């Protein structure tokens, strides 16, 4: 299975559905250590992203994710819009390349997607100046990427790699609970930021779980073009 245009579109729609479903939880988590708007901001952004994809005739998965990132930057306030927006634009750019199916560089299997996800993480780290342990998106994305890469390197299929990444991201999000925040608004709380799960890491886990959902063998199509 390759990560094609249909799957890219389905992934964004699955993220939007997950964010809508978990909006109240994201807001609750952010209310404890942030501005309390993480859920509503992401809901607004991914709803707009789905609208932006409706009727779009992309020339590949990169175009889908680049449009998603651009929409998030323009529609989402706070820090989550620029962070996720830059991440998706970086993933999209990494997946934009040769379209000749006989050219190995054009393939979008697990290894290629792993490197695209790495580009997304790099974008988050550069913009947010965050490292693992800072209690941010990075704390879920880093183990997710490591798990995805390890699975891809071992010859796993895309669904298998995506499932491993989702499980690692969810564990990474849980692992932020005892951490003291060193970046973002939560860092202003000092020791009081401990004992709370980071909302950004939590939404990152939703992102990777959505990828696992749409690549699963029994996944139901979410894209209108599927």
CATH class of the domain comprising 5-215: mainly alpha
In this prediction, residue 224 carries a pLDDT of 52
Give pLDDT tens digits for 45-81.
999 999 999 988 988 999 999 999 999 999 987 788 9
The neighbour count for residue 188, using CB atoms within 10 Å, is 11
Q: Is the pLDDT of residue 131 over 70?
A: yes
In this prediction, residue 82 carries a pLDDT of 94
In this prediction, residue 221 carries a pLDDT of 59
Q: What is the CA radius of gyration of the chain?
A: 16
Q: How many CA atoms lie within 13 A of 118 on its CB side?
A: 11
Rounded to 10 degrees, the C-alpha dihedral 22/28/34/39 comes to 30
Q: Is the pLDDT of residue 223 over 70?
A: no
Q: How confident is the model at residue 219 (pLDDT cuts 50, 70, 90)?
A: low
Sequence spans of domains, the chain: 5-215
Token pair for 65? 């994710």
Q: How confident is the model at residue 211 (pLDDT cuts 50, 70, 90)?
A: very high
Q: Is the pLDDT of residue 222 over 70?
A: no
Q: How confident is the model at residue 160 (pLDDT cuts 50, 70, 90)?
A: very high
In this prediction, residue 167 carries a pLDDT of 98
**70 exposure class (CB count in 10 Å sphere: 0-12, 13-18, 19+):** middle
**17 exposure class (CB count in 10 Å sphere: 0-12, 13-18, 19+):** middle
Q: Is the pLDDT of residue 126 over 60?
A: yes
More confident residue, 188 or 46: 46
User: In the predicted model, what is the mean pLDDT of residues 143-159?
Assistant: 96
């Amino acid at each position: 299975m390759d990560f094609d245009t249909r799957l890219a579109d389905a992934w964004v729609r699955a993220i939007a559905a997950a964010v809508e479903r978990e909006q109240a939880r994201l807001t609750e988590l952010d209310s404890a250590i942030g501005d309390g708007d993480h859920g509503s901001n992401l809901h607004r952004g991914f709803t707009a992203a789905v609208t932006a994809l409706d009727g779009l005739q992309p020339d590949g998965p990169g175009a889908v994710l680049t449009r998603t990132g651009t929409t998030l930057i323009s529609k989402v306030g706070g820090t989550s819009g620029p962070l996720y927006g830059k991440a998706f634009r970086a993933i999209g750019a990494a997946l934009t390349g040769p379209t000749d199916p006989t050219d190995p560089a054009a393939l979008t299997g697990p290894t290629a997607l792993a490197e695209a996800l790495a580009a997304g993480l790099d974008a988050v780290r550069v913009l947010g100046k965050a490292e693992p342990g800072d209690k941010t998106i990075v704390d879920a994305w880093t183990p997710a990427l490591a798990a995805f890469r390890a699975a891809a390197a071992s010859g796993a299929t895309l669904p298998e790699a995506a499932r491993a990444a989702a499980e690692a991201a969810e564990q990474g999000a849980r692992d932020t609970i005892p951490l003291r925040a060193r970046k973002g608004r939560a860092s202003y709380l000092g020791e009081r930021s401990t004992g709370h799960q980071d909302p950004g890491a939590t939404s990152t886990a939703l992102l990777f779980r959505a990828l696992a959902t749409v690549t699963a063998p029994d996944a139901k199509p979410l894209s209108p073009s599927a």
